[in-house]
Amino acid sequence: MNQQPYSPVPPQNFPGKGLCIAGLVLGIVSIVLCWWYMINIAALATSIIGLVCAVVGRKKGLAAGYRSGIGTAGLVCSIIGCCFAGVFFLTCTVCVCSTASSIGALSSLNW
């Protein structure tokens, strides 16, 4: 029973890890912010910046021979945040415009 004691592998720092983490954080922030009207614009901006960070971080990591799950998660979260923010901004804008049009039509009636 001469087993070596288990020694956990310390976390590896690879090129682009910071960008991958930034992409993940920005993707999560964009998913959280996309639910409110007019804040969707900030969510759209953070998701696009998160996409860029995640893609660049993944490319740097892959070029150095490291596969990054954080970069993939940041990419996925940023894509989801971008889609949600775009769809919610579009639908909320259509709703506000149709409501304003209805109010304008009602105010022109002479009662």
CB 27 within 8 A of CB 77: yes
Virtual torsion, Cα 4, 10, 16, 22, nearest 10 deg: 140
Containing 17, the helix (H) or strand (E) segment is helix 17-33
Which letter does DSSP use for residue 7 in this model? -
Write out the residue range of the structural domain in which residue 60 sits.
17-104
Asked if the structure places residue 4 within a domain, the reply is no
- pLDDT above 90 for 15: no
In this predicted structure, the answer to whether residue 4 has a pLDDT above a threshold of 80 is no
Residues 46 and 26: their CA atoms lie apart, in Å, by 6
Mean pLDDT of the chain: 87
Q: Is residue 83 part of a domain?
A: yes
Q: What is the pLDDT of residue 10?
A: 47
| Domain assignment present for 22 | yes
**Single pTM value for the model:** 0.78
Express each pLDDT in 38-94 by its tens digit: 888 999 999 999 999 999 999 998 888 888 889 999 999 999 999 999 999 999 889
CA atoms within 13 A on the CB side of 101: 6
As for how many domains the chain has, the answer is: 1
Task: Classify residue 8: in a domain, yes or no.
Answer: no
CA distances from 30 to 51, 74, 96, 100, 106 (A): 11, 11, 22, 28, 37
Could you tell me the end-to-end alpha-carbon distance of the chain, in angstroms, rounded to an integer?
A: 96
50: in domain: yes
Is 6 domain-assigned? no
